[in-house]
Amino acid sequence: MRATTWMALALGGFGACLGAALTQQRTEPAPQTPQPGQHTYHAPDEVDKKAIRPLPPVRAPEGFGETAFAHVRTLVGFGPRYSGQPGWTQQLDHIEATCKELGLEVRRDTWTDRKELLTFSNVSAVIPGKRKERILLACHHDTKCTKGHPDPANNFHFVGANDGASGVAVLLALAPLLQAAKFEATIELVFFDGEESLDWKWNDAARALFGSRRYVKKHRDAELTGETTRIAAMILLDMVGRTDLHLQDETYSTKDLRQILWSAAVALGHDKHVFQRAESAADDHKPFLDVGIPAIDLIDLNGNPHWHKPTDTIENMSPASLQVVADLVLTMLPEVERQYVLARR
Ligand SMILES: [Zn+2]
């Protein structure tokens, strides 16, 4: 066991994009810049890689990666995209317009957090199926605020090409494919705001995950009055476009969904991009897990040297990675639908 591995074990995990619960238990600060291959924390409950389900591989059409990459370019061109920035408004309009062009019903939920006095907007777009139960495909659209932090090292120009734009781009590019696929389940694309921690370092879930916490609360309230349908499962994409793409075995995620992701990776021959390392990362799937909704986070955080750095730019991203992630999602979805929606008929 290497020293870095030991340290990660001792600290209970490396600080995630929103490394939440783990970070709270730290007794000393972890290094802020993970190097590739370092911090390879293997959790005791990682997936059984021998338990592979035979899933039919489904591949995104050739050129998908380029289409998604064009969205990344557009979003990055808007500049920083957190609440109050001009790019924040431009991005919301871009998401909404792209979904509306496809004829999707789009909802924008805008609210002001009373404590932080910040305005946030979640956007969701519905691809109706024969059944009302929903599978959520989600991402966050906000970028980390890199202004006004006490440590000058944390103040720099940041465009969040991977951390923010990649997930949005894949969802937008997947939307027409999901429409054409005609799932029985309803697919809801959700673009959360306020995922990023307002403090530079994650230290309290109350100052992050604003959009997903809001979404889950509204969902629960609507359930009480019978005004909404069941969320069967949630698939979250966060930081999915790095050239050296590696999706970690994110151990908060529902284990069965992780087995489906691993099986999809094997079926597609994409396994070198998946689960070479295991580590938890608190993210927008947590509020769903907290209320018992099965959820998985496809996230490339462990060992990502560009996380919350000025180098999170399109130069360090690749259309091929976006294509791989689309393949994974498209291969997972029929199995998720079969197991979490159709099997409950
Ligand atoms: Zn982030």
Q: How far apart are the first and last CA of the chain?
A: 47
Backbone angles phi, psi at 153, to 5 degrees: -65, -20
pLDDT(55) > 80? yes
| pLDDT band, residue 42 (cuts 50/70/90) | low
Q: What is the pLDDT of residue 154?
A: 94
Tell me the pLDDT tens digit for each residue of 162-186.
999 999 999 999 999 999 999 999 9
pTM, rounded to two decimals: 0.89
Q: What is the mean pLDDT of the chain?
A: 89
Contacts for 209 with CB less than 8 Å, ≥ 6 apart:
18, 192, 194, 195, 282, 283, 284, 286, 287
CA of 5 to the centre of ligand 1 (A): 23
Inform me whether the pLDDT recorded for 70 exceeds 70. Answer: yes
So what's the pLDDT on residue 43? 67
| 233 closest CA partner among 193, 314, 293 | 293
Nearest C-alpha neighbor of 214 from the set 112, 92, 84: 112
Average the pLDDT over 9-29 and give the result. Answer: 33
Q: pLDDT tens for residues 88-125? A: 999 999 999 999 999 999 999 999 999 999 999 999 99
CA of 162 to the centre of ligand 1 (A): 9
Q: Amino acid identity, residue 123?
A: V
Instruction: Tell me which of 23-37, 193-207, 251-265 is least confident.
Output: 23-37
Ligand 1 centroid from CA 292, angstroms: 25
Residue 1: pLDDT above 90? no
CA distance 275 to 278: 6
pLDDT digits over 229-270, tens only?
Answer: 999 999 999 999 999 999 999 999 999 999 999 999 999 999
Give the distance (Å) from ligand 1 centre to CA of residue 197.
Answer: 8
344 or 16, greater pLDDT: 344
Residue 15 is predicted with a pLDDT of 36
Ligand 1 centroid, distance to 238 Cα (angstroms)? 8
The architecture CATH gives domain 3-344:
3-Layer(aba) Sandwich (3.40)
Q: How far apart are CA 37 and CA 341, in angstroms?
A: 38
Q: Taking ligand 1, which is a single-atom ion, which protein residues have CB atoms under 5 Å away?
A: 17, 144, 163
Asked whether residue 19 carries a pLDDT value surpassing 80, the answer given is no
When pLDDT is averaged across residues 49-63 and rounded to a whole number, the result is: 96
Scored b (16 or more CB within 10 A) or e, 294-311 reads bbbbbbbbbbbebbbbee
Amino acid making up residue 108: R
Domain boundaries, the chain: 3-344
